[in-house]
Amino acid sequence: MSDIDIRNNLAAVKRHIHDCAVRSGRVPDEITLVAVSKTRSLDEVRMAIDAGQIDFGENTVQDALSKIPELKGSHSQWHFIGHLQSKKARQIPGNFHWVHSVDSLKLAQKLSSAMLNAEEDTSINCLLQVNVSAEPSKSGLNTTGVVPFIDELLQLQLPRIKWRGLMTIGVQGDDASSRAAFSGLRSLLDQCQREFGLEEFDQLSMGMSNDYPIAIEEGSTMVRIGTAIFGERNIKCTG
């Protein structure tokens, strides 16, 4: 895709996010656009950066590490949004600022250990992935397991981890079911805030190219958009 296409697409998506937020009585600036750059070329990501995009989402460590080291001076923020194997947690420090897909104590512990062993004295922002729609094909905690899971996490007192909120994936091609999932995640976040009093536990990562307007209406603070920015993918992700 050309520079002008990406620039125009980004501008259109940002305008739409702004309009959706205003119609919902929300402040547009509280919604972060994460441009999903999985399988996209380094040049395409550079084009998006030149167009003013800051936050990027990657689904695999292998694909991400073909780009992130080349873009160290760009002040980009990198989000890991796919299923993360605990054995690859050691590759997160120094590359990613956010992990959206924590769904096990083992992964949480591996991430904390990796951050402790990193050269930089920094923390990682983490979201818990929740399978609100209970689809067998999706990763994530079930809704009833989230509160006890957070209770266990807090008891572990894992260093260098900032627990920031929840993430889910809508139901593809079913707006009503997606809305129900997004509304359910928002209610679950409210419940967690009441029960645990976590000051920074306020992020909802939900909504993609086909359903982000609904997600914004239901309270999303992070939308993960790839196709609407970069066009249809012609390379399948394998790792």
pLDDT tens-digit map of 169-209: 999 888 999 999 999 999 999 999 999 998 899 999 999 99
* 160 φ/ψ sector (left φ>0, alpha ψ -120 to 50, else beta): left
Specify whether the CB–CB gap between 147 and 138 falls below 8 A: no
pLDDT in tens, 134-176: 888 889 999 999 999 999 999 999 999 999 999 999 998 889 9
pLDDT in tens, 37-87: 999 999 999 999 999 999 999 999 999 999 999 998 899 999 999 999 999
- Helix H or strand E encompassing 179: helix 175-196
Residue 222 has pLDDT above 60, yes or no: yes
Distance CA 84, CA 93 (A): 13
Backbone angles phi, psi at 130, to 5 degrees: -120, 130
Domains (ranges, CATH) in the chain? 3-230 (3.20.20.10)
Q: In a 3-state reduction of DSSP, which class is residue 210?
A: coil
Q: Give me the mean pLDDT over the 25-39 stretch.
A: 97
Q: Give me the mean pLDDT over the 223-231 stretch.
A: 96
Residue 234 has pLDDT above 60, yes or no: no
Q: Give me the mean pLDDT over the 6-23 stretch.
A: 98
* Torsional sign, CA 138, 139, 145, 151: negative
Residue 231 has pLDDT above 70, yes or no: yes
pLDDT given at position 238: 32
For 199, residues 6+ apart whose C-beta sits below 8 A from its C-beta are none
pLDDT given at position 67: 97
Taken as a whole, the chain contains a residue count of 239
- DSSP letter at 140? S
For 101, residues 6+ apart whose C-beta sits below 8 A from its C-beta are 80, 81, 82, 83, 84, 127, 129, 139, 140, 167
Residue 237 has pLDDT above 50, yes or no: no
Distance CA 133, CA 153 (A): 23
Specify whether the CB–CB gap between 11 and 56 falls below 8 A: no
**Rounded to 5°, angle at Cα 173 from 218 and 33:** 45
| Widest Cα–Cα separation across the chain | 50
